[in-house]
């Protein structure tokens, strides 16, 4: 009984231990608080920004970049995946481009985006779109190929034409893959947006971090990272996980 409670609490204990180690390190001269800040300082700043509402517009800025890029990237990824599926010749022709697209984390293209689309909203949206597009395309292409042959044959015998197949078989099957792709890409989308903000921006969570970096204010950096992390986790836990669970009730392996 006790051990079960202990093991349920142990992740929290690990976090607590890490926080204490951080605090002691700065207190007893093992680390310089000018570069590392202190847990309580960060907590105070988190509380202050929450109380004054200072953080809200910063979060909204990052949110809208990710939101717009996300929707655009998902739709574009779906469109191209279906194109590749129904016209295999195009897929074959574009294969080297797809390999290139998947070879590396797309966030390394951030300087590019900033230079091409400026330090405003455009560059972040473009980069997030690219990230989400690549993941959706890859995941959906695999997914469409794995739609069960028997299901397709059965629908055809029952009289389904190409349009019926797309609507009743391929699209719903694809949706499961799109949702799981969205779950994979949420972290990468936020990373892309924030990295892009770090390289040039006027607002957003990445801007806070960048400002903290250039002014040597580690508590700013940490608080910015704290809010960024909280957002990513919240989106995953509150929106995407239930969505995937809802979708996967037919995917019982």
Partner 1 sequence: MRALIERLLLVVALLLIWQFLPLTGLADPFFISSPAQVADQIWQWGAGGDLLGHILTTSGEALAGLLIGAVFGAGFGLLCGLHPAAQKALLPLMTVSNALPRLAFAPLLIAWFGFGPSSKIALSASVVFFFIFFGVYSGLRSGSRLLVANARVMGGRGAALLWHVHLPKAFLWIVASLRLAVGYAFAAAVIGEYLGADRGLGYLIVYGKEMLDMTQVFAGMTVVVTIVGVLDVGLRRLARAGSRWRGLEGRL
Partner 2 sequence: MTEPLISLRGVARRYPASKGKSSFTAVQGIDLDIAEGSFVAVVGPSGCGKSTILNMIAGLDAPSEGRITVAGETVSGQLRNDVGYLFQKDALLPWKTVQANVELPLVFRRLGGDHRQIAREWLARVGLAGFETNFPHQLSGGMRKRVALAATFVYGPRILLMDEPFSALDVQTRNMMENELLELWQQNNKTVVFVTHDLEEAIALADHVVVLTANPGRVKKRFRVTLDRPRNVNDIRFDDRFRDLHAEIWEALREEVARSYALQRELVHG
Binding site for partner 1 (CB under 8 A): 7-8, 10-11, 13-15, 35-36, 92-96, 99-100, 102-105, 107-112, 114-116, 187, 190-191, 194-195, 198-199, 206, 209-210, 212-213, 216, 218, 221-222, 225, 228-229, 232-233, 236
160 binds, among partner 1, partner 2, none (CB under 5 to 8 A by kind): partner 2
Choose the one of partner 1, partner 2, none that binds residue 146, judging by a C-beta under 5 to 8 angstroms depending on kind: none
- Least separation in angstroms between residue 236's CB and partner 2 is 23
Residue (34 or 168) nearer to partner 2, CB: 168
In the list partner 1, partner 2, none, the entry touching 92 (Cβ below 5 to 8 angstroms by class) is: partner 1
Among 30, 71, 87, 251, the residue binding partner 2 under the rule CB under 8 A is 251
Instruction: Please give the distance of CA 193 from its chain centroid, rounded to a whole number.
Output: 9
List of long-range contacts for 89-94, beta carbons under 8 Å, 24+ apart: 91/141
Q: Tell me the three state secondary structure of residue 217.
A: coil
- Alpha-carbon distance 157 to 237, whole Å? 42
Report d(CA 40, CA 12) in Å as an integer.
17
Task: Write the binding mask 1 to 20 for partner 2: x where contact by CB under 8 A, - elsewhere.
Answer: --------------------
Angle (nearest 5°) at CA 157 between 156 and 160: 35
Distance, first Cα to last Cα, the chain: 34
Q: Do you know the residue count of the chain?
A: 253
- Residue 88 contact among partner 1, partner 2, none, beta carbon within 5 to 8 Å by kind: none
| Binding partner of 236, given partner 2, partner 1, none, CB within 5-8 angstroms per partner class | partner 1
CB of 159 to partner 2, least distance (A): 4
Distance between CA atoms of residues 143 and 133, nearest Å: 15
What span, in angstroms and rounded, lies between the C-alpha atoms of 48 and 43?
A: 9
Pick out residues in 114-153 that bind partner 2 (CB under 8 A). 148, 150-151, 153
- The phi, psi pair for 209, rounded to 5°, reads -65, -45
Is 252 a residue that touches partner 2 (CB under 8 A)?
yes
* Residue 156 is a binding residue for partner 2 (CB under 8 A): yes
Q: How many angstroms separate the CA atoms of 148 and 84, rounded?
A: 18
Alpha helices in 53-170 (DSSP H): 55-86, 88-103, 110-117, 121-145, 149-157, 162-164
| Structure token pair of residue 156 | 């055809």
Give the footprint of partner 2 on residues 231-250 (CB under 8 A). 249-250
C-beta closer to partner 1: residue 11 or 29: 11
Residues found near partner 2 in the complex (CB under 8 A): 148, 150-151, 153-161, 164, 168-169, 172-173, 175-176, 249-252
């Amino acid at each position: 009984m006790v051990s079960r409670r202990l093991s349920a609490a142990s992740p929290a204990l690990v976090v607590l231990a890490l926080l204490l180690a951080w605090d002691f390190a700065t207190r007893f001269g093992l680390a310089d608080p000018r570069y590392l800040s202190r847990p309580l300082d960060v907590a105070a700043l988190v509380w202050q920004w929450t109380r004054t509402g200072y953080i809200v517009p910063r979060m909204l800025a990052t949110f809208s970049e990710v939101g717009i890029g996300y929707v655009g990237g998902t739709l574009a990824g779906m469109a191209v995946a279906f194109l590749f599926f129904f016209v295999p010749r195009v897929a074959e022709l574009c294969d080297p481009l797809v390999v290139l697209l998947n070879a590396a984390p797309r966030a390394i293209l951030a300087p590019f985006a900033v230079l091409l689309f400026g330090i405003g909203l455009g560059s972040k949206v473009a980069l997030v779109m690219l990230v989400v597009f690549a993941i959706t395309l890859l995941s959906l292409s695999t997914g469409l190929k794995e739609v069960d042959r028997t299901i397709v044959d059965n629908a055809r015998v029952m009289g389904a034409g190409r349009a019926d197949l797309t609507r009743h078989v391929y699209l719903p099957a694809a949706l499961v893959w799109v949702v799981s792709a969205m779950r994979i890409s949420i972290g990468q989308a936020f990373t892309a947006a924030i990295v892009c903000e770090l390289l040039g921006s006027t607002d957003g969570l990445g801007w806070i971090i960048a400002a903290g970096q250039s002014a040597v204010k580690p508590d700013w950096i940490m608080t910015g990272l704290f809010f960024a992390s909280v957002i990513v986790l919240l989106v995953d836990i509150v929106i995407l996980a239930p969505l995937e669970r809802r979708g996967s009730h037919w995917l019982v392996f």
